[in-house]
């Protein structure tokens, strides 16, 4: 038996995931009860998928048997499969437990991923996706849940353990949650229209009565995967009450949009404007141009937006 435990421990070290994080506290752990644990953060995109639990207690908590996580399993042929939290797992006082679920098909990728922290719990269970949810159970009792309508780099509690939820967090697996910094200013620029099906493009609109020039190095367009960010050149100018079209594959614009995606306009590394969607969109935009309201539009790249009308 001791030899088996030693082999499992060595395998966990090699793979970079352990079966339980160490307790970091001078106090003895108390048994985990539903009032002590919340789902604090989750991500379906980014460096790796994860779920973060948070202990809202000044004592470390230790899990007994019967604790599990499930997702809604809508997108997986094997159906719903629970992630079982191992008995004896400890969360430090006011601390975090990082869980990295994965399907059998992705086992090698996840277990050999250097980005996955060594103290994360990793096991074959489910994968997080778009229009998904994750729920924490103690036996048959629903303890907490978190849901989202599109892929998320990070969704969770604005302040660790408290009620307010945001899907615009900086991913901080195993650490204190932080909201994305937002740019404040009076620039008259907005993301005005987006197309993700086929001929991908994003349209920017200048609602001002004078031309607008972008400052070199300050403005960036990205999607949720953040793997093909586009720095808007300082030479680009938008006419007064006019448009500029950024089309994938043209003029060095390589951002490609998909289903369950987002477009983010950043100013000096802060979110200036953004739009998110679930299924692919032929055209979603603001109406009238530059307004707050978004909806399905007739495709009108570089021209005035017009809502889709019923036949």
What pLDDT shows up at residue 4?
A: 36
CA–CA distance, 282 with 265 (Å, rounded to integer): 20
What pLDDT shows up at residue 228?
A: 79
Write the pLDDT tens digit of every residue in 213-232: 999 999 999 998 777 799 99
Domain ranges in the chain? 2-179, 189-296
Quote the mean pLDDT of the chain: 88
Write the pLDDT tens digit of every residue in 153-198: 999 999 999 999 999 999 999 999 999 999 977 899 999 999 998 8
pLDDT band at 310 (very low <50, low <70, confident <90, very high): low
Q: How far is CA 68 from the centre of its chain?
A: 22
CA–CA distance, 180 with 170 (Å, rounded to integer): 5
What pLDDT shows up at residue 309?
A: 81
**Percent of the chain topping pLDDT 70:** 88
Write the pLDDT tens digit of every residue in 139-148: 999 999 999 9
Which run of H or E residues covers position 5?
helix 2-15
Write the pLDDT tens digit of every residue in 85-135: 999 999 999 999 999 999 999 999 999 999 999 999 999 999 998 889 999
Q: Which CATH architecture has domain 189-296?
A: Sandwich (2.60)
SS3 309: coil
Residue pair 240/254 in contact (Cβ under 8 Å)? The answer is no
What pLDDT shows up at residue 89?
A: 97
Q: Which CATH architecture has domain 2-179?
A: Sandwich (2.60)
């Amino acid at each position: 038996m001791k030899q088996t435990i030693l082999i499992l421990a060595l395998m966990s070290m090699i793979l970079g995931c352990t079966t339980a994080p160490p307790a970091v506290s001078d106090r003895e752990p108390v048994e985990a009860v539903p009032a002590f644990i919340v789902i604090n953060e989750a991500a379906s995109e980014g460096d790796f998928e994860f779920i973060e639990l948070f202990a809202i207690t000044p004592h470390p908590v230790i899990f007994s048997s019967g604790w599990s996580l499930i997702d809604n399993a809508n997108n997986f042929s094997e159906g719903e499969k629970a992630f079982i939290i191992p008995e004896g797992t400890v969360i430090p006082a006011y601390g975090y437990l990082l869980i990295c679920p994965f399907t059998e098909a992705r086992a090698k990728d996840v277990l050999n991923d250097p980005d996955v922290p060594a103290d994360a719990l990793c096991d074959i269970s489910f994968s997080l996706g778009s229009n998904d949810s994750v729920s924490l159970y103690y036996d048959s009792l629903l303890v907490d849940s978190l849901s989202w309508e599109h892929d998320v780099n990070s969704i969770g509690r604005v302040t660790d353990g408290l009620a307010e939820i945001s899907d615009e967090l900086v991913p901080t697996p195993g650490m204190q949650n932080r909201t994305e910094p937002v740019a404040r200013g009076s620039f008259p620029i907005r993301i005005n229209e987006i197309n993700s099906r086929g001929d991908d493009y994003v349209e920017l609109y200048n609602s001002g009565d004078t031309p607008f020039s972008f400052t070199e190095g300050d403005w960036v367009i990205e999607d949720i995967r953040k793997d093909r960010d586009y720095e808007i050149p300082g030479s680009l100018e938008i006419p007064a009450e006019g448009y500029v079209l950024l089309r994938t594959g043209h003029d060095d614009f390589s951002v490609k949009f998909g289903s369950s995606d987002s477009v983010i306009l950043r100013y000096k590394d802060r979110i200036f404007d953004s739009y998110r969607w679930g299924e692919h969109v032929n055209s979603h935009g603001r109406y009238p141009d530059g307004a707050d309201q978004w909806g399905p539009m007739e495709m009108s790249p570089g021209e005035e937006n017009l809502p889709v009308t019923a036949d």
